[in-house]
Amino acid sequence: MKKNKKTSVAITFLVLALSLGMMLGLYGCPPKPPEDPNTEPVVLFLPNSNADGFKVKAALCDGSAGHIVSLLVDEGALPQGCALNSFTLTGANSAALDMNAEFGQALTNTGTTGEYLYAGSLINTLLVFFEIDEITLTVEGEILVTGHIIYDQPLTFYENY
């Protein structure tokens, strides 16, 4: 008799648990979609609405610096036409980044704040994703010189402007 009572309680508990699970799935708690094993989370640093710093947005990327640059362009953090030429990890905590001429023109043709936000969005996103401390930036293989900055030293994390 005790065995039947234990079985009955176990079955009742199981039915309640399954019912609750189905209700959660149907009413506001959909099951989590399967993750694409070929993507990785990335934190994008985007200019904030006050143009005095950055906000962050989570996204998924294929793990390449080129895809990250494309995501920043899609989000408006970099102008259309900006693209990566190369990205190479040069040490345990550093990398070399070469961007296309459109990126150099965008930094040269904008004001100080715009230049800071374009460069900061790019550098911060790559520093955090690749877990490094500094990036040496070139454009078409050359040191970038804008009306505001000569990019001849490694760049570190950009704080709010």
In a domain, 161, yes or no: no
Do both 54 and 72 map to the same domain? yes
Domain hosting residue 11, numbered range: 1-33
In a domain, 128, yes or no: yes
Do both 26 and 98 map to the same domain? no
In whole angstroms, what is the distance from residue 102 CA to residue 86 CA? Answer: 14
Counting as low any pLDDT under 50, the low residues of the chain are 1-3, 6-7, 9-10, 13-18, 20, 23-24, 26-27, 31-32
Do both 83 and 52 map to the same domain? yes
Do both 14 and 92 map to the same domain? no
Do both 12 and 53 map to the same domain? no
Per-residue pLDDT tens digits for 48-79: 999 999 999 999 999 999 999 999 999 999 99
In a domain, 135, yes or no: yes
